Amino acid sequence: AIRRQRQMCIRDRLWIPILIFAYIKMIDPGEKREHPVLNVKYYAHRGFHGEEGIPENSMAAFKKAKELGYGMELDVQLTKDGVMVIHHDYDLKRTCGVNKKIQDLTYRELCRYRLMGTKERIPRFIEVLREIDGKVPLLIELKMETCNRKLCKKVARALDKYKGLYCIECFHPYALYWFKKNRPEVIRGQLSEQFFKEKEAGSFSRKIAYFIMKNLLTNFITKPDFIAYRYKYKDCLPLKICRKIYKIPIYGWTFRDKKEYKDNEHYFEGFIFEKFVI
């Protein structure tokens, strides 16, 4: 009986290194790629906004970022009639004071509203591409709560015709997987954070998804070229593994003042910032 108990203890202990090895391998992003867009250090978050009359994700914010020479981060999602528009939230409560979702409105209906009490409206993705015209790099976040193949296809087709530097990122691993399979040349980044520490709520299945995403456990499938993580969690275990073992570039988001940036500068290769000049 004692021998049997010892054998069971040995088997139980063997599981620990096996699980550690499996965890490390799942975070493996694969072969490190070289690309000019991966040398870009600074992205103005939702354009360069905050000045009077310049709301986030507006054409004015993108023009200002271009004027200052910064790369820019922006968010793309679809209207009810399939038009690609630039807006972070899935609804208009915060930005336009209207309790309506973008996916429930046609683009024509969306044009009735203005951003943050200004004259600026929600721009189309195509309009922004024309305005920037390759002058500064783009960091394009695909906004999706489910496996939105339609959004991936539309964004990819628009970018096929674009000549400037760009890369894509998304919280949902499906976007990275789709681009890996259908546009493997496009540089892609996995967005994440410590969801539970940020008190993100949801169903049991959503909590499972949050656990997988915060630990970057889909990297071995999606093969991201960089990780974009909420900067205050710079010392979390998955980032330590990516930084020390896999040497993958890590971008920090979102810096809101120069002190935050200076205090964390040596932890990141890229910086997504807003409302101050670096």
What tokens were used for 95? 């930005």
Phi, psi of 192 (to 5 degrees): -165, 175
- Catalytic site residue 88? yes
Question: What is the number of helices (H) and of strands (E) in the chain?
Answer: 11, 9
Nearest Cα residue to 46 out of 277, 225, 275, 268: 275
Strand partners, 230: 253
Query: Please, are residues 233 and 194 in contact by the beta-carbon 8 Å criterion?
Result: yes
Q: What is the DSSP string of 44-55?
A: EETSS--STT--
Query: Please, are residues 230 and 194 in contact by the beta-carbon 8 Å criterion?
Result: yes
Strand partners, 270: 251
Residues 6+ apart with CB under 8 A from 205: none
User: CA 129 → CA 125, 137, 141, 207, distances in Å?
Assistant: 6, 11, 14, 36
Q: Which of 45, 49, 87, 172 is catalytic?
A: 45
What tokens were used for 158? 């628009």
DSSP state, residue 272:
E
- 3-class SS of residue 232: helix
Q: Which of 87, 88, 172, 266 is catalytic?
A: 88
> What gap in Å lies between CA 76 and CA 91, rounded to an integer?
13
Known catalytic residues are 45, 88
